[in-house]
Amino acid sequence: MEESAGVVNAISKIMCAVDGSEHSFRAANYAVLMAKKFGAELRLVHVIHNTGFTNPDDYGLYDLESEEEKKSEIQEIREETGEWLKRIKNNAGQDESQLTKIELVGTSTSVESAIVNYAKRNLIEIIIIGATGRSGIKKLLVGGVTSSVINHAHCPVMIVK
């Protein structure tokens, strides 16, 4: 990010967290606009919560899902995010060559920490996120995930309602 006298002149890496909610689609629209304006790299990210154990039996855990069920669930998520990507591209108004996929990020911790850690590891300069997500759980003004991302992100966070 280029900055002079406290004014941002350019942004080169933008991340937008998407979860299929209307707010995340609106956030993606803004992310596309900003990426075009700044000529920035845009990463669309969807976080998948999982146990993080490749072999739960090794940890004394009983896993209720078989490997086939887990693979099937991941495939369903890939198909669903593929539909989201088509919608985001259509909203962009043209074939957006930057928008090739939605990255799936697995986490055994929280969705918000996965978003924050992904942004930090990938040197993201701004996170764009919807005010609330699909969970339907709302705080007074913004959702729990969004609120936590705001409080823990290393970079600016833009909230879209």
Ordered domains of the chain (ranges, CATH): 19-160 (3.40.50.620)
pTM passes above 0.85: no
Q: How many CB atoms lie within 10 A of CB 76?
A: 10
Is 50 exceeded by the pLDDT of residue 143? Answer: yes
Q: How many CB atoms lie within 10 A of CB 158?
A: 15
Q: Is residue 27 a contact partner of residue 146, using CB atoms and an 8 Å limit? A: no
Q: Once rounded to an integer, what is the mean pLDDT over residues 95-119?
A: 83
**pLDDT of the residue at 50:** 73
